[in-house]
Amino acid sequence: MTQLTISRSVLHTSTVEFKRHFREYLKTLAKDIDTNRVELIEALEWCFDRWEYWRQKFYPDAELMFPFFQSGRRGSEFGHYSTCGSSGQPSVIHIKRSFLMGTSDITVAKLSPTKKLVLLKDHPDRLKFVDQTILHELVHQYLHEASPSAAEYESSESGKNYKGHGPLFAAECNRINETLHPELGFEFVPVRHMKRSHAKVNDVQRPSCAHFTHGELFHAWDITNPDLVGWQIEENRQRLEQALAFYGGAVELVEEAAEVATDFPAPFDSSCAEVCHQQLLGYDQAKDTDLVTAFHLAVLQQMQAAGTLDELLDAIGHSTAPADIQPAAGENGQTVIAIPESGPTVPTSVDSRLPALTQEYPISDPVASLKRIEADITAAGGKAALCKNQFGLKDGSSLSRHLKALKAAIAQLVAA
Ligand SMILES: [Zn+2]
């Protein structure tokens, strides 16, 4: 394959010259127009200065063109680098208008369904956050324009679904952060390839380079990874606290309870139970209560009092009678009889009405569920066997996923 040669010096303008001309041009634009536009132009000039600061700091010898900065209202990205702008101009950095101008409070990251980071519109330090985005775009620009691996970057990383956040981008972020993090008073945290499956083994649990420079400033470990253990969750808590202090209140951690229904407009038909169940579950998740379990207990106690509990267990394929437990083949072919009291708690007969995995081993009580699931796997002779025989599933993948979720829930309990 022939290597692509990249020559982007189409304007033959030096960085400094271009900057001077562009500034003069903007100044003429600013003269006879409204205040908003004057402010916007001042903000764009600030962007040039910050770009120049980062360029001198991290790419003093690179042949970089002075980029066009633009700030439109559209798009969801806070910053974006393009080798070619919409009017054909080379090397364009776009900074979203509301983000640059602080016209509204902006959610800059969602940490969980109820927690988010918000950049406050009127805070005097808010541009510190925007400044970091300019550095992110500069790295894209460098990799396209001036890096010795530019051709490789363009051919291998840009067109992919990780939008230029591959191994070359991650390596640059790490090179910069090894200097930047200590300078800002932070411990160095590496970033990984945007696709976790492509990441280096050592960095696989680290934040994605797609969120450079903010992601790794706020988190030591990837918050989207459900397998983080107690000490990693603790490191993340400390890192978040440090980053919030670094931004001096410009970024705020906002916690809001999920929309919670506090009354039950009960539909008087057969869907009543489903509606109540969903509402209780939503309330539990938002308020950290345990209403669903209490609800289940109340129903079971009532059924027991009425003598209808056994009937129900039969109906869902769960029998308390030992005769119903079928022998399962053991590892060496010998017959193993499962004992109901200490052994499997799932029904052993295959029945389409069998409860789903997640209901059988509820995540609301992860410790007990994990204990039971492990006992059941052993009794069934493996994950796949348990899934096939007890739940009618084709393989053990659902079970593996649920096991992961249970372990993550336990880790969170430990950390709490
Ligand atoms: Zn990017």
For the chain, the structural domain boundaries read 15-255, 262-307, 322-415
CB 112 within 8 A of CB 56: no
For residue 358, the CA-to-ligand 1 centroid distance in Å is: 38
Model pLDDT, residue 256: 81
CB 224 within 8 A of CB 102: no
For residue 153, the CA-to-ligand 1 centroid distance in Å is: 13
Distance CA 135, CA 141 (A): 10
Q: Is the peptide bond before 358 cis (omega within 30 degrees of 0)?
A: no
- Which among 317, 273, 319, 318 has a CA at the least distance from the CA of 298? 273
> Kind and range of the H or E element at 112?
strand 106-112
For residue 48, the CA-to-ligand 1 centroid distance in Å is: 18
For residue 323, the CA-to-ligand 1 centroid distance in Å is: 62
Distance CA 206, CA 219 (A): 8
For residue 326, the CA-to-ligand 1 centroid distance in Å is: 57
For residue 136, the CA-to-ligand 1 centroid distance in Å is: 6
Model pLDDT, residue 123: 95
Model pLDDT, residue 53: 95
Count of other CB atoms within 10 angstroms of residue 97: 17
pLDDT in tens, 103-120: 999 999 999 888 999 999
For residue 80, the CA-to-ligand 1 centroid distance in Å is: 7
Residue that the structure tokens 């993948």 belong to:
397
CB 331 within 8 A of CB 320: no
For residue 169, the CA-to-ligand 1 centroid distance in Å is: 8
CB 336 within 8 A of CB 379: yes
For residue 167, the CA-to-ligand 1 centroid distance in Å is: 13
**Average pLDDT of the residues in 253-264:** 77
Model pLDDT, residue 35: 64
For residue 363, the CA-to-ligand 1 centroid distance in Å is: 36
For residue 213, the CA-to-ligand 1 centroid distance in Å is: 10
**Percent of the chain's residues with pLDDT above 70:** 81
Selected residue with higher pLDDT from 323 and 284: 284
Model pLDDT, residue 275: 73
pLDDT in tens, 288-318: 778 888 888 888 888 888 888 887 777 776 6
**Average pLDDT of the residues in 141-168:** 85
Model pLDDT, residue 170: 96
pLDDT in tens, 11-70: 444 566 676 777 777 766 666 556 677 888 889 989 989 999 999 999 998 988 888 888
Q: What is the pTM of this model?
A: 0.60
For residue 325, the CA-to-ligand 1 centroid distance in Å is: 57
pLDDT in tens, 349-390: 333 334 577 778 887 788 888 888 888 888 888 888 887 777
**Average pLDDT of the residues in 65-84:** 87
pLDDT in tens, 385-412: 887 777 777 777 777 877 888 888 777 7
For residue 174, the CA-to-ligand 1 centroid distance in Å is: 14
CB 96 within 8 A of CB 75: yes
**Cα-Cα end-to-end distance for the chain:** 54
* Burial degree of 305 (CB within 10 A; 0-12, 13-18, 19+): exposed
Model pLDDT, residue 223: 93
Predicted confidence (pLDDT) at residue 345 exceeds the cutoff of 60: no
For residue 164, the CA-to-ligand 1 centroid distance in Å is: 7
For residue 101, the CA-to-ligand 1 centroid distance in Å is: 20
For residue 255, the CA-to-ligand 1 centroid distance in Å is: 27
For residue 165, the CA-to-ligand 1 centroid distance in Å is: 6
For residue 233, the CA-to-ligand 1 centroid distance in Å is: 26
Model pLDDT, residue 327: 39
What SS3 class is residue 91? strand
For residue 75, the CA-to-ligand 1 centroid distance in Å is: 14
For residue 312, the CA-to-ligand 1 centroid distance in Å is: 56
